[in-house]
Structure 1
């Protein structure tokens, strides 16, 4: 398989895979290759950098077990900056504290928050689900609510 960087006559860059160079030529000639952004079939090969094998790794012996593979693997580059990592850790800690110390009332959250606010139910920490409209209605009634931070790891 060959990966080509392509560019349309509208200037959009995109990539596509082909079984061979001849297959690319045939598909372009038949109008089968089109820009995913604008739909133009007027495409050409763009600038590409060749994949160059590194020779400094050729002398290594084959890895024989998983432990050795981990030891030889390069250290991962963090995707988040230090401040972003601290914010995520704080969000995770807040969420864990609330879910550990409060009662999950699920979709009954708006009704239970009202009962507690108006003295119909004992006051206690709760969390649950509410639509945006329900949350706004609670705030309009003077009932203090706040969104529970999402679990940062669940957003990927």
Structure 2
């Protein structure tokens, strides 16, 4: 596993884990790496210091495949919880989130679609929102 310090074109910094550096390159090229704050897919790696280990015997490293499986399962569970408990508002998400925030609509949990520009404007205006984790691939279909 490799951890990268990333930054979107909106200036948001965040960390992300990948199985290999080639995995990052592949996912980035396919537009699958996005900012968790604004949803921008214009993301770049930042300079970071290498991890330096001491001379003491280290504990066994976690199994990357197991860790990836756990992360994908958690993403499935978060997404499932949202889909079962929140109101789906489709592409009206930005408008509905703003209406709820400003008291023009009933306060409730919602999810839907919004463009990166809409998300950026919501965040600038103090309307709380976060991207829903993408549905991970079916483990049976992974190579």
For the residue of structure 1 that corresponds to 2:133, the secondary structure is coil
TM-score w.r.t. structure 2 length? 0.51
> For residues 98 and 83 of structure 2, what CA distance do their matches in structure 1 show?
20
Equivalences for 1:6-155 in 2 at 5 Å?
A: 81-153=65-137
Name the SS of the counterpart of 1:107 in structure 2. Answer: helix
Partner Cα distance (2:83, 2:99) in 1: 21
Structure 2 distance, partners of 1:89, 1:120, is 36
Q: How many correspondences in the alignment?
A: 77
User: Match of 1:120, SS?
Assistant: coil
Return the index of the structure with the highest Cα Rg.
Answer: 1
TM-score normalised per structure 1: 0.47
Q: How many angstroms does 1:116 deviate by?
A: 0.2
Structure 1 unaligned segments of length 5 or more: list them.
1-79
Deviation sequence 1:73-101 (CA, Å, 0-9, x none): xxxxxxx6100100000000000000000
Higher relative contact order (CA 8 A, sep 6+): 2
Q: Which runs of 5+ in 2 are unaligned?
A: 1-63
Deviations 1:42-64 (A, max 9, x none): xxxxxxxxxxxxxxxxxxxxxxx
Q: Give 1:153 deviation, angstroms.
A: 1.5
Counterpart-to-counterpart distance in 2, 1:133 and 1:96: 26
